[in-house]
Amino acid sequence: MLKITPYLGSLVVIVSLGGLWYPILGYFMFLVMGTLFITSLFRGRWFCGNLCPRGSYFDYGIIKISKKRKIPKILSSMWVRVPAFTLMMALMMYRISVTFAAQNTFELIGTILVSMCLVTTIIGTMLGGYFNTRSWCNACPMGTMQRFIGGNKHQLQMDHESCVDCKLCEKVCPMELKVRDIGNNPDCIKCGRCVEKCPKDSLSF
């Protein structure tokens, strides 16, 4: 992960709460969406593990209250993720389109973006608190979009000959992936924790 990663979580609080008084903060969401779209073309879900403010919020904030229960597999099911992505995008576009008939369109769009950030953050906080911290990331609509765009990019590599099967990599994976079989797992967020934890330097990107 990047050196700035631990500090990005504060942006979620600023946008979600500060945006209630200053709706213009909601436009930060467009910057996030644009950045994750561009990075996903080359590195898949790398944004999730390195630049995502909500991911940082989970890793360095919610982790303090998380019960760290196993993430339900249904959250990573496409039967949940695709409808969630479709519903979120459709709802956002509909709400934004309605505002064009109003005089204060700019402020209303900001309010819509803030409300989306706040609602998804509350859901993510509840999931991360009751289950493991990155539970929301398994079903995240934006993460799902990155998976479809560049899920086969920048994949984790493993030297199976040097691997001693200690499973330390799997214990630190925030997405609870089977790292040793990760070959082409499109939901790897490229946070690098498994690489840092491996005692034999068997993992690399």
Residue 189, Cβ density class (10 Å: 0-12 exposed, 13-18 middle, ≥19 buried) = buried
What's at 61, amino acid-wise?
G
Lowest mean pLDDT among 45-49, 62-66, 101-105, 161-165: 101-105
Q: Which of the four pLDDT bands, split at 50, 70 and 90, describes residue 183?
A: low
Structure tokens at 178: 């089977």
Does residue 35 contact residue 52 with C-beta atoms inside 8 Å?
A: no
- Tens digits of per-residue pLDDT, 69-122? 999 999 999 999 999 999 999 998 998 888 887 778 899 999 999 999 999 999
Total domains, the chain: 2
Do 145 and 168 reside in the same domain of the chain?
Answer: no
Domain that holds residue 163: 155-205
What number is the average pLDDT over the span 188-195?
Answer: 94
| Secondary structure of residue 185 in the 3-state scheme | coil
Do 99 and 187 reside in the same domain of the chain?
Answer: no
Do 167 and 112 reside in the same domain of the chain?
Answer: no
Do 134 and 176 reside in the same domain of the chain?
Answer: no
What's at 119, amino acid-wise?
V
Structure tokens at 161: 């000959």
Q: Which of the four pLDDT bands, split at 50, 70 and 90, describes residue 14?
A: very high
Do 23 and 90 reside in the same domain of the chain?
Answer: yes
What number is the average pLDDT over the span 33-43?
Answer: 95
Do 30 and 123 reside in the same domain of the chain?
Answer: yes
